[in-house]
Amino acid sequence: MSSSRPPVSLTPATTLADLGEFGLIAELTRRFPQGEQVLLGPGDDAAVVTMPDERVVVSTDLVVEGRHFRRDWASAADVGHRVAAQNLSDLNAMGGRATALTVGLAAPPDLPAQWLLELADGMAEEAAEVGASIVGGDVTSSDQLVIAVTALGVVDGDPVTRAGARPGDVVALAGRQGWAAGGLAVLTRGFRSPRALVEAYRRPQPPYGAGAEAAGLGATALIDVSDGLLADLGHLAEASGVAVDVATASFDIPEPLLAVGAALGADPLGFILGGGDDHPLAATFPAGSALGPAWTVIGSVAEGTGVTVDGAPYEGPTGHRHF
């Protein structure tokens, strides 16, 4: 990517075809300030980023319009925040810290250029939350809008994986859970309130820094909750070779979820157990660990396999399925 071209005058009618590949690249890179960790930013065949620790963590996500987002449900800036947050949260879930992102964009030529530039602004703002820079990527024409983000970062010491939970551990959660699912349920039915839930769907608020905190507190396993709490705890249980039980009494259901549950005739607890897109962190800790206020104990680890709720199999949806 290169931003050597002078800025162009954009109107709401300016499309990507009008702007052209290199005009688009120039406008995008003007929106991506480079941090001190970037030795060489956009403009060459590859970027060069310093990594103070040899342990480098990398995560990639692919986001497809109509599958993962809708432009009539969220602004371009909202989508930018969402796609950046889900990658940054993956690094957070390793106990790591993001330093750089690259972005691949495939878009229809008639897409308004301003929409894509506002997407870039949202991504840059979310990356700035953790001190990361967007250092490059690629753009191409496509019949469908697709966004691919790769996040790179570092981890101090050993990463915390999904595979370390042990019988006797407790399960704890940092960050809000179920809010985005409630917002999605509202939007699916053509409504825009409660606004708090709709905004939670549009712009998640991952607990950045909680991953490193969990590592410092002695977490034995850690995972980003992106698809659903029970589904992702299932991945942790399988990787660790243990059983996990979730205690519903540990959840304080917020008023907006109660309101949506009542309006839709749905159990609000279902949003918490099966909802995704909030990106909290779930971790296991040795019993008796002194956890900070960011963490709420929600369950326990035992010998066996699978995930149960209050000691019994859960019959409701456990999370999003990609295929």
Was 90 annotated as part of a binding site? yes
Residue 277 marked in a binding site: yes
Taking the CA atoms of 200, 204, 209 and 210 in sequence, report the sign of the dihedral they define: positive
141 has binding-site annotation: no
- Ligand-binding annotation for 300, yes or no, is no
Q: Is 169 known to sit in a ligand binding site? A: no
226: annotated binding-site residue? yes
Residue 59 labeled ligand binder: yes
- What does DSSP say about strands 295-302 and 170-174: parallel, antiparallel, or unpaired? antiparallel
196 burial (CB, 10 Å; 0-12 / 13-18 / 19+) is: middle
Residue 218 Rama label (left phi>0; alpha psi -120 to 50; beta): left
The verdict on whether residue 162 carries a ligand-binding annotation is: yes
Would you say 60 is a known binding-site residue? yes
d(Cα 123, Cα 297) in Å, to the nearest integer?
32
The terminus-to-terminus CA distance of the chain in angstroms comes to: 34
Query: Does 29 carry a binding-site annotation?
Result: no
Annotated ligand binding at 80? The verdict is: no
CA 172 to chain centre: 18
* Residue 143 labelled as part of a binding site: no
Instruction: Name residues whose C-beta falls within 8 Å of residue 203's C-beta, 6 or more positions apart in sequence.
Output: 78, 81, 82, 85
Instruction: Give the whole-angstrom CA distance, residue 303 versus residue 300.
Output: 10
Cα distance between residue 61 and residue 87, in whole Å: 6
Q: Report the binding-site residues for Mg(2+).
A: 45, 59-61, 90, 138, 224, 227
Q: Report the binding-site residues for ATP.
A: 137-138, 162, 226
Q: Report the binding-site residues for substrate.
A: 68, 277
Q: Report the binding-site residues.
A: 45, 59-61, 68, 90, 137-138, 162, 224, 226-227, 277
